[in-house]
A and B are shown apart, each in its own frame.
Chain A
Amino acid sequence: MNLVQQLINGLILGHAYALIAIGWTVLLGVARLVNFGHGQMYMIGAFMAWWATAPLGLPYPVAVLVAVAAGALLGLLVQAVMLRLTLEQNLVSIMIVTLGFGHVLRGAASLAFGGTPQVLETPPSLIEFELAGAWITAQDLLIVAAAILVFALLRGVVERGRLGRTARMVAEDPKLAQLAGIDVTRVYLAVFAFEGAAVALAAALVAPRTPILTSIGFEEVIVTFVVVVLGGIGSVAGSYLAGVGLGLFTALFGGFVSPAYTTAASFAVLTAVLVLRPGGLAAGRAVR
Chain B
Amino acid sequence: MPTPTSSREAILSAIRRALAVPAPKPGHHAGESEPQQEPQFENTFSILGQEAATSQKRTWLPPVGESWDEWADLFAANSLDLKTQWILCADEADLKTQLEKLKSENGWKKIGLHRGELTDLAAETLGLENLYVDGGYDAHELEKCDAGITQCDALVAQTGSILSTNKSAGGRVLSILPPHHVVIARREQLLPDLPAAFELMQQKYGDKYPSLMGFITGPSRTGDIERILVLGAHGPKKLTILCV
Q: Do A and B come from one complex?
A: no
Interface residues of A (CB under 8 A from B): none
Residues of B within 8 A of A (CB): none
